Structure formats: structure tokens, C-alpha cells
A and B are shown apart, each in its own frame.
Chain A
Amino acid sequence: MPLIDRLEEAKRAGDYQGLLDLIPYARFLGLSCAMVGEELITTMRFGDHLIGNPALPALHGGTLGALLESAAIFELLWRAETIVLPKTITLTVDYLRSGAPVDTHARSVVTRQGRRVTNVRMEAWQTDRSTPVATAHAIFLVMRG
């Protein structure tokens, strides 16, 4: 079954994790998704393979970028009425502090939903939500076909 159909199915069943498990790279990063109140929270479970600086130690910046981009994509897939696979046009990540070797959470807000293009803001935090480790914004192409 194509991914898009499986997405529709997972969405109907409310099975976020089943959706994530279809994506090999999401498994590699250790991503999971959960609805917390009205928010879709994406979590990256800490693993040694995510380390970028073993001396500190700190997470690799690329893992935070990947988490933030994934969180935005899940948000778009989950909230949109008709599912199209969003294509990332640009992603800009601000690294605010080094990522500790613990779980990291992310959430996204759609700032503008256009006919062809959607703008999203994202933030990632660890133990304290009020001190994010990274924020980002991204633009996605959301045209069908």
C-alpha cells in the first residue's frame, strides 16, 4: 500500500506511532509522536548514536534539525484535511544551546497555510520547555501530485 494510503488509514485509526514506524529514518532517530492536549508532540529518544560532540557531550546539530523538520511534517500530515506529502523547500534552524544527552521534544505551529505553500514554526526543548534548545522555521510545498 502506498504511504499516502497508509497515512489516511493511520489517521483514521489515530495511530501516530504506526505511521512513524513506516519511515526508516524516523526509527533510526528514535522518533515517537503523541497528542498532548491539543498539541502534537514529537519526541526524539536519546541514543548514543545521536551524539555530535562526545567531549561535552552534546547532540549533533543535524539530529535537532531532523527532529524539527519531522515534527513540522507530522503536524502538516496530521492537521491537513487532504493528505499530501509536504516537500521541504527551506529549513532554517537557530541553535540556542547545546543539546544534552537526554530526550528532546518538538512541536510545530502552522503560521500560514497557502494553496501551494505552507509556513511552519517549530521549537525543540528538553527538560524545560521555557528554554528551547533550538527553534526553526520551514516552508513546505504542499501541492498534490
Chain B
Amino acid sequence: MPDEKSDPRAVEHENLRLKLVRGFSGNVPHNHALGIQIVDMQPKVALFRLPYDGKLVGNPDTGVIHGGAITALLDGASGAAVFAALEELVPIATLDLRIDYLRPAEPHRDVMARATCYKMAKNVAFTRAVAYHDDESDPIAHSVGTFMISTRGVKK
């Protein structure tokens, strides 16, 4: 956002907002249980890390983590990207999420997820996200999602 960068107060507001989103996403019990770390938040973008853990294994023969853990990671990062794109924090609800599994995750390696809210419409936000080890151009999974934006404002 080059136009926002020129105004220090807008930048400060933006940083505060992203900090809020970060705190908010960090407070999700299931993210905690999975061991998910929030690596970075930018306007419309969230970068999450899922550290490798034995409890996430789906195939005990290979030590490869279960697709469900990748689903939860992509879902969480996509939701955070929507929050990072909202003017104010209002509740959101996932409408749908499609995940393409491109290749198995490798055992004993962390999985990163970078999610982008690429379109914010009046009622609906659209996201895409990619899961990878350390090279985004060699992805493990790719997802697209839609989220309903609440019109009710923040609940008490």
C-alpha cells in the first residue's frame, strides 16, 4: 500500500490492527493444540507455521502428517488473512474450502502456510493459500476458500 505508507498515522493504525489480528488468531485453542505459530501478518496476508509433531502423524509407517492437519492449517491461515484484510474486526464464517493435495508432506519437517485474501467483496471474502516446507514454488497443498463477513459487528 504505497499511499498508506506515506501517512505515518495510517501506518501506525495498520500495525496496530495487524497486531490485534495476530493476538486474536494466536488465541484459537485448536491452533494452540496443533502447535501453530503465527510467523507474519501483513495486510490481506497471513503466514503460519505448523511444526512437525508426532501427534499429527496420519501414516505411522512413513511418519507423514495427516491431511487433516494441513486442512486445519490452511483454514486457520485463510481466516487470519481475511481478518488482516478487514477494516474492522467483525466475525467471519467459512463458507467453503477446497484443498488440492499436490504431494505428501515430508516427515520431520515444518509446514508453512501463506494465505492471501485476494478479494474482499461486500458480504464475502475470497482467499487462496499454499502450504509448503521452505519453497513456495514446490507446494504440498493449495486451497481456495470463501468466507461470509458478518454484518452484525463484533459480538460482546
Contact = CB atoms under 8 A, between A and B. Distances in A.
Given A24-B60, A60-B76, A95-B93, A49 B68 contact: no
Interface stretch (A8-16, A81-89, A111-119, A122-130): A81-89
B116 to A, nearest CB: 18
A2 B104 CA distance: 18
A143 to B, nearest CB: 15
B58 interface: yes
Contact of B68 (A25, A48, A59, A89): A25
Contacts of A100: none
Interface residues of B, number: 39
Interface string A34-60: 000000000000001111111100011
B117 interface: no
Interface stretch (B2-10, B27-35, B39-47, B121-129): B27-35
B153 to A, nearest CB: 13
Interface of B: 27-33, 54-61, 65-69, 71-76, 79, 91, 93-101, 104, 155
24 contacts: A3-B59, A3-B60, A22-B60, A24-B56, A24-B60, A49-B29, A50-B29, A52-B29, A52-B76, A60-B30, A61-B72, A62-B75, A63-B30, A63-B72, A65-B71, A66-B72, A88-B101, A90-B99, A91-B71, A91-B101, A93-B97, A95-B93, A95-B95, A98-B93
Interface of A: 2-4, 22-29, 48-55, 59-63, 65-67, 69-70, 85, 87-95, 98
